[in-house]
Amino acid sequence: MNRCILEKAWIPALIFFVFWISSSAGMAAATVSYTYDDAGRLTAAEYDNQKEYNNLKKIDYTYDAMGNLRSRRVNLTAAQTPALNVNPAGLDFGADKVTLPLTISNQGTDTLNWAAASQQNWISLDPASGTTTTENAQLVVAVSRGGLAPGTYTGAVSVTSNGGNQEIGVSMKVDPLTVPIISASRDDLSPSSGRAALTPLLEITNYEDLNFSPAEANWIIYADTGGGEDEALFDSGWTQRQLASFRLPDGLLDPNNDYWAKVVLQDAFEVSSQSGPYSFTTILQEESEDADGNGVPDDQQLSEAEAQDYFNEHPEAGAALREQGSGTSETVGIEIDRGTVAYIASHRPDDFPAKPEDGDFPYGLFSLKITDLAPGETVRITFIFPEAVAGPWYRYNEASGWSDYSEHVIEYKDNRATIEIKDGGFGDADGVANGSILDPSGPAHLEKDKDDDDDNNCFISSLAR
């Protein structure tokens, strides 16, 4: 057999070898493109799916002047393989931390598909699975100390993927001391940024003295002044209602600010230690209900033309909005005798639990934030309603619930109602004399409805006699 025949025999043999590799690996068929020269000789074989041919991309064939096969050049592509990396390698929650993050990254190529799980029921994961290519993914690990005896607990988070597996050690301590630990409800945290809503629900996640049965709680909020000193912003006082959680009032927090929360519990025998501070950052202005930052929720503000007409008719008003109680979004104006209206919002009465049975709340309740007051100062607030209203005037406080605020109503006159609030005193929901007032409150009836009720009562009384 001459050399030419031997060399040319390599061509089908090599092609057969390539297909044999593919078949033996259990791979599916793919398209192969062949190129021939003018003499009908094979010059190239190109493969459109390199994964199915063990990364084989192309084979080039060259011939000498006699037509004998001179060389074969095999081109391979780099393998596309994801590689799992999880940081940090361990999580230590100590005695007070509730959530810690894990960063999942892909140090290889192609898409990384991962899933996380834990065998310990005091560990929870969010999210439990995901995919990533070049970007990092964050896995939030949370622990719950409720119902656990004092001691040190260890566990693990297992992350499995198509790019390898990794196990992260987790440790946590449960102190025997009665030290409550608090955090914001996960429902009130932004999924993307982890920032808290402007009215977050703070929750006590742990206090471990099994003989301690709290009867009252005192919730305190501090604002980060940026100068190294914290400013008391809110003090609930002792409350028997909100022992396990507390919803912060509307208007208290500002967007994109840092705050600290603390709580103290007491039962019939002792007062607990104060909780360690829980720090949180609020959502950005554009994520809030008042995205444009003008002090009124966007869905309650007047249009530019409506506002111009209203303030021309009521120049005494310092703010106005569309109320949420009537169902027809009537305009209500606000006039104050001092300070600045920094925020105003209307709320449906059904937004609050167990409203008083004798209250219709025709225009809902109003949250006000009045600033630029001297600490402890009293301000008069006049509400300008579409129609005349009548009492009782109710306010809602998260710590004490509903209360009749009628003793602080100065007058009902025509379609106006004037009330008084004292900074840090009566009517101020934040409970701190800090030059800022919060007040969720409103009238229970329209005057015409109240008169009708009074006439009906007189008629019934007459029949009874």
Shared domain for 401 and 270, answered yes or no, is no
Shared domain for 158 and 244, answered yes or no, is no
Contacts of 217 (CB under 8 A, 6+ apart): 204, 236, 238, 239, 242, 243, 246, 263, 264, 265, 266
Residue 218 token pair: 């005192």
Strands 166-174 and 90-92, sheet pairing: parallel
Shared domain for 268 and 161, answered yes or no, is no
Average pLDDT, the chain: 81
Whether 105 maps to a domain, the answer reads yes
Distance CA 388, CA 363 (A): 11
CB of 44 closer than 8 Å to CB of 37: no
pLDDT in tens, 221-232: 988 765 445 678
Shared domain for 320 and 357, answered yes or no, is yes
Residue 402 token pair: 């509903």
Distance CA 51, CA 11 (A): 23
Shared domain for 336 and 420, answered yes or no, is yes
| Alpha helices (H) in 275-413, listed in sequence order | 304-313
Shared domain for 354 and 319, answered yes or no, is yes
Whether 26 maps to a domain, the answer reads yes
Q: Which of 56-60, 79-83, 341-345, 428-432 has the highest mean pLDDT?
A: 341-345
Contacts of 186 (CB under 8 A, 6+ apart): 126, 142
pLDDT in tens, 81-126: 899 999 999 999 987 788 999 999 999 888 999 999 999 999 999 9
Residue where one domain finishes, among candidates 45, 76, 107: 76
pLDDT in tens, 248-290: 888 899 999 988 888 888 776 667 767 778 888 999 999 899 9
Residue 357: the pLDDT is 86
CB of 90 closer than 8 Å to CB of 128: no
Share of the chain above pLDDT 90, in %: 43
Whether 201 maps to a domain, the answer reads yes
Whether 431 maps to a domain, the answer reads yes
Shared domain for 65 and 95, answered yes or no, is no
Shared domain for 56 and 100, answered yes or no, is no
**116 beta partners:** 159
Shared domain for 309 and 445, answered yes or no, is yes
Shared domain for 419 and 346, answered yes or no, is yes
CB of 365 closer than 8 Å to CB of 440: yes
Looking at the 3D structure of the chain, how many domains does it have?
A: 4
Shared domain for 71 and 91, answered yes or no, is no
**Is residue 459 very low, low, confident or very high in pLDDT (cuts 50, 70, 90)?**
very low
CATH number for 151: 2.60.40.10
Distance CA 293, CA 295 (A): 6
Residue 135 belongs to what domain range?
A: 80-176
Query: Regarding predicted confidence, which is higher, 182 or 192?
Result: 182
pTM exceeds cut of 0.85: no
Query: Regarding predicted confidence, which is higher, 442 or 187?
Result: 442
Whether 103 maps to a domain, the answer reads yes
Whether 70 maps to a domain, the answer reads yes
Whether 382 maps to a domain, the answer reads yes
In degrees to the nearest 10, what's the CA dihedral of 25, 30, 35, 41?
40
